[in-house]
Amino acid sequence: MKDLDLSLYLVTDRSLSLNRPLEYIVEEAVKGGVTMVQLREKTCSSKEFYELAIRLKNCLKPFNIPLIINDRLDIALACDAEGLHIGQGDIPYDIARKLLGKDKIIGLSVENIQDAIDANKLDVDYIGISPVFSTPTKTDTAQAIGLEGVRQITQISKHRSVGIGGINRANAHDIIKCGADGISVVSAIMSADDPRSAAYELSELIECRG
- Residue 3 belongs to a domain: no
- Residue 75 belongs to a domain: yes
Task: Show the domain range for 183.
Answer: 8-207
Catalytic positions are: 40, 109, 138
Q: Return binding residues.
A: 38-42, 70-71, 90, 109, 135-138, 166, 186-187
Q: What is the pLDDT of residue 152?
A: 98
Q: Other C-beta atoms within 10 Å of 136: how many?
A: 9
Domain at 194, CATH number: 3.20.20.70
Q: Return binding residues for Mg(2+).
A: 71, 90
Q: What is the pTM of this model?
A: 0.95
Number of domains, the chain: 1
- Residue 2 belongs to a domain: no
Instruction: For residue 99, give every residue at least 6 positions away whose Cβ sits within 8 Å of its Cβ, in sequence order, or none.
Output: 73, 77
pLDDT digits (tens, 9 = 90+) for 77-104: 999 999 999 999 999 999 999 999 999 9
